[in-house]
Amino acid sequence: MTGWSKAKTAQDIRDLVEKGFLMEAGEGISQGGRKPRLLCINRNLGFVVGVDIGATSVDVALADISGSVLQRYSEPADVRQRPEPFLGRCVEIILHLMELQGCRADQILGIGIGVPGPVDFARGVLVAPPLMPDWENFSIRGFVKESFPNAFVVVDNDVNIMALGEQRAGDGINVDHFIFVKIGTGIGAGIVSNGKIHRGSTGCAGDIGHICVDKNGPICRCGNTGCLEAMAAGPAIAEKAMQAALNGSSLLLKNLMNQNGGVLRPEDVNTACREGDQAALEIIRASGQMIGDVLAGLVNFFNPSHIFIGGGIANFGNHLLVSIRRAVLRRSLPLATTHLSINFSRMGPDAGVTGAVALALEYLFVIEDQPTTTI
């Protein structure tokens, strides 16, 4: 495959074994002559870490360099904090997992980090992130490298890492063209084209939460009016439910609100819907339809074979999914929808952290394609 001579190949392999990158893995089956010696990557070479930062939680996994997760930890968190304390806590969690596994900081070779905002992938920084303004241009890599000097740190959008997770370990294996849609506090998409993550020219592809669904709609965090995110994501769902509770159109939502000390969360709307509340059902259906209307346009444009839906709102079940599907089928062209599958991701909360580990591994053995700035 390399086109190298036998002598050069043997010498290079001896070097790699001596340096500990490769190790012998027994003998193979003879093809007539001497039995071949098999080699594999030395699993004890080091470790990689995946960090999935959500708006309200953080997930961390410690894996070996084959990608097998060895330790895993999640806790609630708030990204509206400044980056230093937030990332400081992430480092603490990583150190804790390393202690459990008995590994040293210099053995951490790669760290993949997903963040909920637009990332300039080459520079590894957030640019104008609506959810976490204090993080703008903050060097996440620089901060994390201080604790793990041997690690190559890669930062990407949270939805890109979920798409990567779905591609490596979920139903996205061997799928050439798909869209992973995350619906939670925000709405975003991870895109796979010809089997590769499509990050776009400045790395911010997939920002579908700010596609306009109603020019006369409410003002969004981004400053525009009627963005999908402002009208259909978690906070909008909770807000509409509060209105329904207050204007008397749902007694159940009103009771839930009173139990919660005067507020409603998106989960409460889901609970009410499951108990048969009509107002809650309508709110969820309306969200599904708006998301489906936007996806219909993207299906015409991108023609994916699969759309995977994940994120906190994804467990809202069939009412949401049916509304999304219906809107897409109504507005997309027949050729684009005949073989289109729209489903919840079956990876649940694992998609992000699995993808973050995959992201770290992707850049571990690649020099030329690494994001360009100082690491």
Calpha distance 237→286 (Å, rounded) = 9
| Residue 144 binds to its own copies (criterion: CB under 8 A) | no
| Residue 124 binds to its own copies (criterion: CB under 8 A) | no
Q: Which residues of 249-269 are buried (b: 16+ CB within 10 A; e: fewer)?
A: ebebbbebbeeeeeebbbbbb
Binding mask of the shown chain, residues 160 to 199, with x at each position contacting its own copies by CB under 8 A:
----------------xx-----------x-x-xx-x-xx
| Residue 4 binds to its own copies (criterion: CB under 8 A) | yes
| Residue 3 binds to its own copies (criterion: CB under 8 A) | yes
| Residue 290 binds to its own copies (criterion: CB under 8 A) | no
| Residue 298 binds to its own copies (criterion: CB under 8 A) | yes
Which of 333, 348, 372, 373 is in the footprint of its own copies by CB under 8 A?
333
| Residue 300 binds to its own copies (criterion: CB under 8 A) | yes
Q: How far is the CB of 99 from its own copies (least distance, A)?
A: 38
Which residues have C-beta within 8 Å of that of residue 348, sequence separation ≥ 6?
A: 310
| Residue 302 binds to its own copies (criterion: CB under 8 A) | yes
Map residue 190 onto helix, strand or coil: strand
Listed ranges 208-216, 240-248, 277-285, 357-365: which one lies at the site for its own copies (CB under 8 A): 208-216
Pairing mode, strands 196-197 and 187-193:
antiparallel
Which of 16, 17, 127, 375 is in the footprint of its own copies by CB under 8 A?
127
What are the residues facing 108 on neighbouring strands?
Answer: 47
Q: What is the DSSP string of 219-230?
A: BPTTS-BSBHHH
| Residue 359 binds to its own copies (criterion: CB under 8 A) | no
| 120-125 long-range contacts, CB within 8 A, separation 24+ | 120/202, 120/203, 120/204, 121/155, 121/156, 121/199, 121/202, 121/203, 121/371, 122/203, 122/371, 122/372, 122/373, 123/371, 123/373, 124/153, 124/154, 124/155, 124/371, 124/373, 125/155
| Count of residues in the chain | 375
Looking at beta carbons only, is 102 or 334 nearer to its own copies? 334
Which of 301, 317, 318, 373 is in the footprint of its own copies by CB under 8 A?
301
Q: How far is the CB of 343 from its own copies (least distance, A)?
A: 15
Looking at beta carbons only, is 46 or 206 nearer to its own copies? 206
Tally DSSP H helices, then E strands, for the chain. 12, 14
Q: How far is the CB of 183 from its own copies (least distance, A)?
A: 15
Q: How far is the CB of 300 from its own copies (least distance, A)?
A: 5
The count of residues interacting with its own copies (CB under 8 A) is 52
29: exposed, middle or buried (Cβ count in 10 Å: 0-12, 13-18, 19+): exposed
Residues of this chain that bind its own copies (CB under 8 A): 1-4, 118, 120, 127-128, 176-177, 189, 191, 193-194, 196, 198-208, 210-212, 222, 224, 293-294, 296-298, 300-305, 330-336, 338-340
